[in-house]
Structure 1
Amino acid sequence: MDRRPYIGVSTYLVDASWSSWRNRRVALVPERYTAYVQDSGGVAVLLPPDAPERAPEVLARLDALVIAGGPDLDPAYYGEPAHPLAEIDSPERDRWEVALLRAALAAGMPLLGICRGMQVLNVVCGGTLVQHLPDVLDVDVHNGSPGRYGTHAVRPVPGTLLGGLLPESELEVPTYHHQAVDRLGEGLRVSAHAPDGTVEAIEGPGFTLGVQWHPEQGDDLRVMRALVRAATAAVLEAVPLG
């Protein structure tokens, strides 16, 4: 393969101000996501919300997919009313990322869900979420502080895809989330826990992986490098011989 694989990264729409411009609608994602892809050998391609029916067409031009972190998924997608502390303000992003994940799963495309992205993956596969972890945990170490990531330990499950990528019995990771997997989606398995039992990673067939923490906020590139390798391998398999 004579090119780096193209890794799509979902973005979201917000009102932002810069220079002499005020309250302009922009599509953005934190720069650490694109650097995470680039430092791991991929080309980052930003995917602003689009019409859901266009997801298969968009993914046909890419080699792998990353669903980034962000506000909470509307719990209507898993048949529940919203918790009073749910942060639901991105309906166009919800529709777009659900469509992207459905199309990627149908195509067998390598994909990685990060934080919210893992949660959307679980819901797309028929699972549900704990909408506010402090309701079910005695001590919450997952949510950091406003504008600042926290850290806590995760324990990869041996014999899983993630356990092969991160063979340590326990490692510290950057974290910022108040929701988590509740009922596991169909075809998925848990591949990491926090010491308090919170599900910290899930995976499915091929390279289908979700991590609840924020690897892009640290220096450990192993998960993203594995996604890039999987994307490269998929492209090579699709190239006709001769």
Structure 2
Amino acid sequence: MKPVIGITSNLDSTAHMLQNTYIQAVISGGGIPFIVPTGVENDAQQIAALLDGLVISGGGDLNPILFNEEPLPQLGNVTPERDSAELELVRHMLAADKPILGICRGHQVLNVAFGGTLYQDIISQSASPLLQHDQKAKRDHPSHAVHVEKGTRLASIANSEKILVNSFHHQALKDIPAPLIVSGKASDGIVEAVESTDHHFVVGVQWHPEALMQNEDQVSMRLFEAYMKACTERMAAVEYH
């Protein structure tokens, strides 16, 4: 039996979209990808029961109302129905302690689901100079460094105090509540990775490891391997009981 991995999709007008790299990353890791559409918040508990793991994919901005803010002029496109579906899915997956990997926007969704907040636009809200966080290079090219916190799950996966990542975002994590801890930061202070200390495997990364895997980036491959291993372990535990 292979673990069934839900991957959230992005709603653009009348079409649901998902980069093929997410699907291929799950398949190559030994899982069965299950694309989760927007608009399923009322059925999130039943969907979570079907899944062995969840990947929250990248996409547009989160609605700032979710963290008690009003929109700044620099806020991009928001999809409230996607926000609702993903947050409900995350809550039910957390309650069942099933593995979650949040990628880019998904990293931000995780933080908001725990009660955290976001910078709506790091360029206009930062008091200090920033790196380029919306790179002009292709998706599978690493563009800046992330400094990994010692003693974290990410550190055990990376086997390095510094890794290179790609970058496609203008929002970022601001207030980060327990049980999330910061496991990686860019040199300009932007939070690039978090993980939960209370769950079997809950990790958020601001970059796109599934894209870097196309160039056989070793850290990205080990991250997905660790995630898929956790999903397999969770599936086995449920079957045992």
Q: Give the TM-score normalised by the residue count of structure 2.
A: 0.90
**Amino-acid identity (%):** 37
Give the letter aligned to residue 7 of structure 2: V
Give ranges in structure 2 of 5+ residues lacking alignment.
214-219
Q: Which of the residues 161, 170, 183 maps onto 1:178?
A: 170
Show structure 1 runs of 4+ deviating over 2 A. 145-150
Q: Which of the residues 30, 39, 46 maps onto 2:35?
A: 46
Matched, 1:227 2:221: no
Q: Match for residue 189 of structure 1?
A: 181
Matched, 1:98 2:87: yes
Q: Match for residue 46 of structure 2?
A: 57
Instruction: Report deviation, 1:181.
Output: 0.7
Instruction: Report deviation, 1:240.
Output: 3.0
| Secondary structure, aligned partner of 2:15 | strand
Instruction: Report deviation, 1:146.
Output: 9.2
Q: Match for residue 130 of structure 2?
A: 139
Please say if residues 41 and 225 of structure 1, whose CA atoms lie closer than 8 Å, have aligned partners that are also in contact: no
Instruction: Report deviation, 1:53.
Output: 2.3
Please say if residues 126 and 186 of structure 1, whose CA atoms lie closer than 8 Å, have aligned partners that are also in contact: no
CA distance in 1, matches of 2:44, 2:29: 25
CA distance in 2, matches of 1:171, 1:240: 38
Q: Match for residue 5 of structure 1?
A: 3
Instruction: Report deviation, 1:147.
Output: 7.8
Matched, 1:157 2:155: no
CA distance in 1, matches of 2:170, 2:94: 26
RMSD: 1.7
For residues 96-154 of structure 1, give each alpha carbon's deviation from its aligned partner in whole angstroms, at most 9, with x where no partner exists.
01111111111111000001101011011111111111121413321113986761101
Q: Match for residue 206 of structure 1?
A: 200
Instruction: Report deviation, 1:38.
Output: 1.2
For residues 144-189 of structure 1, give each alpha carbon's deviation from its aligned partner in whole angstroms, at most 9, with x where no partner exists.
1398676110111111111111121111111111111100023110
Q: Which structure's residues are more often strand, by fraction?
A: 1
Matched, 1:31 2:20: yes
Instruction: Report deviation, 1:30.
Output: 0.9
CA distance in 2, matches of 1:189, 1:74: 23
Q: Match for residue 22 of structure 1?
A: none
| Secondary structure, aligned partner of 1:117 | helix
Please say if residues 6 and 43 of structure 1, whose CA atoms lie closer than 8 Å, have aligned partners that are also in contact: yes
Please say if residues 156 and 191 of structure 1, whose CA atoms lie closer than 8 Å, have aligned partners that are also in contact: yes
CA distance in 2, matches of 1:51, 1:7: 16
Give the letter aligned to residue 228 of structure 2: V
Give ranges in structure 1 of 5+ residues lacking alignment.
16-24
| Secondary structure, aligned partner of 1:27 | strand
Please say if residues 129 and 188 of structure 2, whose CA atoms lie closer than 8 Å, have aligned partners that are also in contact: no
Please say if residues 144 and 150 of structure 1, whose CA atoms lie closer than 8 Å, have aligned partners that are also in contact: no
Q: Give the TM-score normalised by the residue count of structure 1.
A: 0.90
Aligned pairs for 1:64-103 (under 5 A) are 64-103=53-92
Give the letter aligned to residue 4 of structure 2: Y
Give the letter aligned to residue 52 of structure 1: E
Instruction: Report deviation, 1:226.
Output: 1.0
